[in-house]
Amino acid sequence: MGYFLTIVAQSLDLQDSDFIQTVSVLNFVNQVFVSWSPTPEQPDQNEKWYWLASNTLRVSKGRGQFVDINTYHDTPIERRSDGQIVYRWEWANYSGSTIIHLALPPNFIAELQSLHPNIPAYIKMNRGRLCLGWLPSPESAPAYAFNLIETASDFENSVGIFTDQFEAMKHQEPLKSRIAHARKLSNIYTSKIQHLEEQLAIYGTANVPFHIQYELDETQKALQEQQSILTENRQ
């Protein structure tokens, strides 16, 4: 059976000096609302959302929508003799579009240069974790490998520096890859805006919850950024 969208939601945790990863693979037959934006909305496993990857990714539940879910645990970390902590994971060639979302353990970031050649399409700080997201294509390398760095202090400042450097590095990404990411992100953000505008209409402008308005504003800005990339490269 072919799927419209596959979401691979991963949460990496440090437990008694061992790294354990929880992986949830969800296959959808129809378009769904997917959000990796931070939200003050409290997670609850009800009929509205799937909360995934330590609650850093949420996906809408649709009535009558078929979804195939598989959850498992693995240990994708190699501790080398030189002290390096290497994350290594291989993805299957899922049918349809795929989103791979990884929430790193609290107080850990990725070594920026080691993210080549599979540069994430997005990064977010969410619920005390640095989250990385990929939108792989059939041409993408099948393995993700990069070094983890533990920040002994001032985690938020380390994430801020990482984010600034990541944005600068994205501009050095091959043009073909940047355009492919922009197209996929534009589709995702367009779907998010439609959903959020529906929520806005239900509550009414005067009573809309803050997190919905915040996410709508953030998504509109992100969509404009992706569309500007596509426009620049058409000229």
The tens-digit pLDDT sequence of the chain (235 residues) is: 566 888 999 999 998 889 999 999 998 888 788 889 888 777 776 667 889 999 999 988 876 577 888 999 999 999 998 889 999 998 876 666 889 999 999 999 999 989 887 888 899 999 999 999 998 877 777 788 899 999 877 898 999 999 999 988 887 777 788 888 888 888 888 888 888 888 888 877 777 777 788 888 888 988 898 888 888 776 5
**HSE-up (13 A, CA, CB side) for residue 152:** 0
The pTM for the full model equals 0.84
- CA distances in angstroms from 192 to 19, 61, 186, 198, listed in the order given: 33, 14, 10, 10
Per-residue confidence (pLDDT) for residue 63, from 0 to 100: 63
Backbone angles phi, psi at 125, to 5 degrees: -95, 120
Radius of gyration (C-alpha) of the chain in whole angstroms = 18
Backbone angles phi, psi at 6, to 5 degrees: -115, 130
Give the whole-angstrom CA distance, residue 85 versus residue 78.
6
Per-residue confidence (pLDDT) for residue 235, from 0 to 100: 58
Q: How far apart are the first and last CA of the chain?
A: 40
Per-residue confidence (pLDDT) for residue 174, from 0 to 100: 78
Give the whole-angstrom CA distance, residue 37 versus residue 212.
11
Find all residues with CB under 8 Å of 147, minimum gap 6, and list them: 84, 85, 86, 87, 110, 111, 114
**HSE-up (13 A, CA, CB side) for residue 74:** 14
* DSSP secondary structure letter of residue 137: -
Contact 26, 118 (CB under 8 A): no
What residue spans of 76-232 are helical by DSSP H?
155-170, 175-203, 210-232
Per-residue confidence (pLDDT) for residue 46, from 0 to 100: 65
Give the whole-angstrom CA distance, residue 134 versus residue 2.
21
Contact 184, 135 (CB under 8 A): yes
Nearest to 106 by CA among 42, 38, 8, 11: 11
